[in-house]
């Protein structure tokens, strides 16, 4: 077998420790910037993707989902869950991994951790949307829900938008203290609030990133002030939302992929024909984003496969650039591509067979 083919048969492996090494070498800002740029570039070629909503298996305590997407070169998918009771069992609420496949041959080119990468892509998408939708001079944000995703959200808004002051609220005060401690080195100001209403009062942007299987009303209409941008991240599954439905009628709702958001996002609580604008149209400037400083804008984030594909590619490219990629054997290496059986090594060697045949002839 020639070396080129042998190489093609190997699959690149990107592990959580590789993501940590990429971040330590490149820095958090460069990684969030990089992921956001890859996502934007892919949103700008929206029509080139074969898109579908995710395939979900709902169980009593959570959901498991497959998220496929393809263009002419790559087929990619992510597996992701959401099990809000996991932290009590010592596990993260959201766990993910995925693969990148060569469309021309179907060969798995890379397998990647996507738990950390999901946090990067969700935060980068939120900040990217806010760049187009929030008021230009936004400096303050309320961050409701201070679990695993929250630091990534805070940093994306700091580095990509210039948010300097964040009001934190979590029903678990230890989560807010953890966040303020983890990001103390950034120089941002963190104010831990005693309730949601005081956290959101007077801010430019509200981010909700809570995990609870309920149609919760964490943000109510009385909390919304003219010009606010709402980045609703935690409501991403049927029966799991964060906003009072009347909030959607207070402004314009922006979505990633309408077909999916209508089932999973805040949109599930309003009429089926409730008007929405796609992010790709705003990014491509075919539809307006914010019209004036008093408009309320709402990004109904649920997470779309395109963002996972873009983020996985960024991390894979960064791992390659930094010499971090390891290859694993996932596909059997065959001398004859039609002879899969021989790979098992259970067929007797040829000389033994010949001896047996000639013995039978005699």
Residues that bind ligand NAD (CB under 6 A): 82, 84, 87, 93-94, 118, 122, 144-150, 170-172, 175, 209-212, 216, 218, 233-234, 236, 301-303
Least distance to ligand NAD, CB of residue 10, Å: 31
Least distance to ligand NAD, CB of residue 242, Å: 8
Give which of 223, 216, 221 is closest to 241, Cα–Cα: 216
DSSP 248: G
Least distance to ligand NAD, CB of residue 200, Å: 12
d(CA 278, CA 282): 7
Q: Which residue is nearest to ligand NAD (CB)?
A: 147
CB nearer ligand NAD, residue 8 or residue 269: 269
CB nearer ligand NAD, residue 268 or residue 301: 301
Active site includes 236? yes
d(CA 14, CA 257): 27
Cα atoms in the Cβ-side hemisphere of radius 13 Å centred on 127:
29
Cα atoms in the Cβ-side hemisphere of radius 13 Å centred on 65:
26
d(CA 262, CA 256): 11
Query: In sequence order, what E strands does the chain have?
Result: 10-14, 50-51, 55-59, 62-70, 74-82, 96-102, 108-113, 140-144, 165-169, 189-192, 205-208, 215-219, 229-232, 241-243, 252-255, 277-278, 297-300, 326-329
Least distance to ligand NAD, CB of residue 249, Å: 21
CB nearer ligand NAD, residue 43 or residue 109: 43
CB nearer ligand NAD, residue 126 or residue 138: 126
Which of 18, 33, 204, 236 is the catalytic position? 236
Residues with catalytic roles: 236
């Amino acid at each position: 077998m020639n070396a080129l083919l042998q190489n093609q048969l190997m699959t690149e492996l990107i592990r959580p420790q590789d993501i940590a090494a990429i971040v330590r070498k490149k820095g958090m800002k460069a990684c969030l910037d990089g992921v956001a740029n890859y996502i934007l570039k892919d949103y700008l070629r929206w029509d080139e993707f074969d898109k579908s909503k995710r395939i979900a298996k709902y169980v009593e305590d959570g959901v498991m989902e497959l998220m496929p997407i393809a263009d002419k070169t790559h087929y990619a998918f992510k597996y992701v869950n959401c099990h809000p009771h996991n932290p009590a069992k010592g596990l993260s609420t959201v766990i993910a991994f995925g693969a990148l496949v060569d469309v021309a041959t179907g060969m798995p080119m890379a397998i990647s951790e996507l738990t950390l990468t999901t946090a990067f892509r969700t935060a980068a998408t939120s900040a990217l949307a806010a760049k187009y939708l929030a008021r230009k001079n936004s400096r303050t944000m309320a961050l409701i829900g201070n679990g695993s995703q929250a630091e990534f959200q805070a940093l994306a808004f700091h580095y990509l938008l210039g948010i300097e002051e964040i009001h934190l609220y979590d029903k678990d005060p230890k989560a807010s203290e953890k966040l303020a401690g983890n990001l103390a080195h950034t120089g941002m100001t963190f104010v831990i609030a005693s309730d949601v209403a005081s956290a959101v009062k007077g801010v430019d942007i509200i981010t909700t990133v809570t995990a609870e299987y309920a149609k919760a009303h964490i943000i109510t209409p009385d909390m919304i002030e003219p010009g606010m941008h709402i980045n609703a991240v935690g409501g991403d599954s049927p029966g799991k939302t964060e906003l009072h439905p009347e909030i959607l009628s207070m402004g314009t709702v922006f979505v990633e992929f309408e077909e999916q958001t209508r089932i999973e996002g805040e949109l599930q609580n309003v009429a089926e024909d409730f008007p929405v604008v796609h992010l790709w149209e705003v990014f491509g400037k075919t539809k307006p984003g914010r019209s004036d400083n008093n408009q309320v804008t709402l990004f109904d984030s649920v997470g779309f496969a395109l963002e996972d594909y873009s983020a996985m590619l960024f991390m894979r490219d960064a791992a390659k650039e930094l010499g971090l990629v390891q290859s694993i054997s996932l596909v059997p290496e065959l001398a004859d591509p039609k002879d899969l059986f021989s790979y098992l090594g259970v067929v007797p060697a040829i000389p033994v067979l010949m001896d047996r045949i000639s013995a039978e002839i005699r």
